[in-house]
Amino acid sequence: MARTPQLVINFNKTRRGDVGLVGGKNASLGEMISTLASKGIRVPAGFATTADAFRDYLSSNGLNAAIADHLDALENGRISLSKAGETIRRLILDGDWPAATAQAILTQYRALGDAAKDTDMPVAVRSSATAEDLPDASFAGQQETFLNVTGGPALLDACKRCYASLYTDRAISYRQIQGFAHDQVALSVGVQQMVRSDTGGSGVMFSIDTESGFPDVVLINAAWGLGENVVQGAVDPDEYQVFKPFLDDPALVPILAKQLGAKKIKMIHDRDGTPRNVPTSKAEQQSFVLGDAEIMALARQARIIEDHYGQPMDMEWARDGAAGPLYIVQARPETVQSRLDMGTLKSYVVANPGRLLLTGLSVGSAAVAGRVSIIESARDIDRFVEGSVLVTSTTDPDWVPIMKRAAAIVTDHGGRTSHAAIVSRELGLPAIVGCGNATHILHDEQDVTVSCAGGEEGVVTEGISDVSVTDEALENLPLTKTKVMMNLANPSAALRWWRLPVDGVGLARMEFVINSAVRVHPMALAHIDKVSDADARTQIEQLTAGYNSMPDYFVDTLSRGLSRIAAFCYPKPVIVRMSDFKTNEYANLLGGRDFEPHEENPMLGFRGASRYYSDNYRDGFALECQAIARLRGQMGFDNVIVMIPFCRTPEESDKVLAVMAANGLERGRDGLEVYVMCEIPANVIRAEEFAARFDGFSIGSNDLTQLTLGIDRDSDALAPLFREDDPAVLWMIEAVIRKAHAAGTKVGFCGQAPSNDPTYAQYLVKYGIDTISVTPDSFVQVLRNVAKAEKS
């Protein structure tokens, strides 16, 4: 007996296994409505037309043969892609609805309106291809979506336009690239109650870090208004990152990053209901779309959805009004990072880069050199030169045919979840998005190097640089008794190293985060009235806008920056060194010149521990302590250990520990460990006294060498004499290890020597060092040298 075709089905009757019936997008919506509502996942109600309805529409209008003929002509080169697509779409749009299908759609629409007590309820009408959102391919953005559709006639017209969009140029091209037969793909139309995000906000969310593949974060992008601008990369959105392992504890707020986007436009509904873009207000541009509670709520929903599907997910969300509920409006499998070979680490190095031209958000970790091809409109894509660097304002699915022929992609606008970013990851291309003015700065046929190898900030430099790449099979790395840790300064690069078998972070440099992220002298934030430079005051006020107080800005920015480093290897130890600027370096921070003395020899001057208890910096150090207390307490990173640099005497260490305790960092309380840098001969000579006050030593070989040999480490004239393997320096290292171990105290080495000369590790193993911390680029070689030294 012939099967009676099912034409329309309510979302609550579908499951994720119904891809062949209603497409991946609609099957996933039904799955969430049916199974996750009880867990707090809110999805707008709706229904879907089926693949049967689509095939019946084509058959009733006699379109199958005509579509096949035009696709065959395209395949054999008799007509162009644009001609084939345009003709097929016109055939579909000129067709008539079979009476049964039209009646089924209108009946479901009325039922949806009755349930919401709104006869002509606005709905979102979305396309869902029956081959989309598979584990190995994402058809996202290939077909059309129509928003704020009201009334039966408008709904039927929108559904017909969705059908036609199965044959847009980009959709035809994408199926050819992925190897899908055109006649095996049908189209389902999802009709959902409209979320009024035009008066609220919306965006995209991933349950995995899209750049590094780090599985323990949720990445959220947000903009004002409808979400199309975020998806297409037409707006530079806010970006938030949340650490997933702490989401079960309601007392913690593990938001690792909050980056304010420009958000210069938003999409709203015009008077006739059609969407249009309008400029955002200055207040909107300077405000985060989501508050902390909303960020945490979305992150928890992302994890629930990921746990249910058993794989990383790519989701779209929308907020109904300015302060209304948050909805999940789409969820599909993440198809790039989740499929990469996690057992291999690929590293890129750019040698001798030219003049810096542009910066933006990096996509991927690769680097490539090539020639620029600027294409500002999809109408001009025929001008693109294959194998060149595509530079454009933004991209949408119409650009896919040339994106796959590019060596790299650079855009003016967009965030990490924009179309350009998603497609670049899928194609394995380095991309830099959100540069702001790439199409203005660069020119056609210009030689450039595009590098995403340095962390979250991608750079475009002048000229063709040498780019080298190495592959490392992680399963071949040896196990060692001596712990090998990593030195990190740049939070934006931290997550990319999560696959390496590091034993923690032996040195996280606080001053780097202050210099790159905070940018303001802490004393200037504590005492803005003492800042005499009017321009500096203006910049400080702009940076701290939106915070309850200027000190809050310091604590928030510093704690979030350090949290990225603390997260990538949690729960392994992360040793954060308190600020170790010299006075001339502090003075270069905004507002710093009013608080720093001029010194002839800053290297041996007012630095390190001596600052922390001094009235000249005590209030600034208090802010550093508050940031660490927040990092360990409110954010949950109790793996953070504090380290005090350049501590000249045990008596000085007593003063520092007392100031720390007064600011919420009491050694031993809540498991807090405090280490001291060993970089002054006095630290070795009086090692037993320091060991009684600290939980560990960390040897800084640069300063220990210059103070042992009496050589300025920055002196070109004395450079040949500056040797970290000088017998006097090695004696110092061996002595402090021996004395510390006798006192039951741990000793690590965080100096540059093993990174510059991996064989240096052999000395340290011989002396019995507990940990060696090195730069990421030398980690693998040092690990192998440690293993070799231990065997010998």
**Does residue 363 contact residue 239 with C-beta atoms inside 8 Å?**
no
User: For residue 176, which phi and psi values (nearest 5 degrees)?
Assistant: -65, -45
Beta-ladder partners of 261 = none
Q: What CA–CA distance (Å, rounded) separates 443 from 371?
A: 10
3-state secondary structure 711-769: CCCCCCCCHHHCCCCCHHHHHHHHHHHHHHHHCCCEEEECCCHHHHCCCHHHHHHHHCC
DSSP state of 516: I
SS3 content of the chain, % helix, strand, coil (to 5): 40, 20, 35
Closest to 401 in 3D by CA, of 79, 80, 132? 80
Q: How many Å separate Cα 779 from the centre of its chain?
A: 23
How many degrees, rounded to 5, is the angle at CA 120 between CA 114 and CA 122?
Answer: 105
Active-site position among 182, 419, 435, 569 = 419
In single-letter form, the type of residue at position 98 comes to P
Tell me if residue 419 is catalytic: yes
Largest CA distance in the chain: 97
User: For residue 332, which phi and psi values (nearest 5 degrees)?
Assistant: -145, 160
The pairing of beta strand 447-451 with beta strand 367-374: antiparallel
In single-letter form, the type of residue at position 141 comes to G
**Does residue 766 contact residue 772 with C-beta atoms inside 8 Å?**
no
In single-letter form, the type of residue at position 638 comes to D
Q: What is the arrangement of strands in the sheet containing 123-129, beginning at the earlier edge strand? A: 8-10, 46-49, 187-193, 123-129, 145-149
Residue in the block written with tokens 């006639």: 153
How many degrees, rounded to 5, is the angle at CA 756 between CA 771 and CA 345?
Answer: 75
In single-letter form, the type of residue at position 774 comes to V
**304 contacts: CB under 8 Å, gap ≥ 6:** 36, 39, 40, 41
Catalytic residues: 419, 750
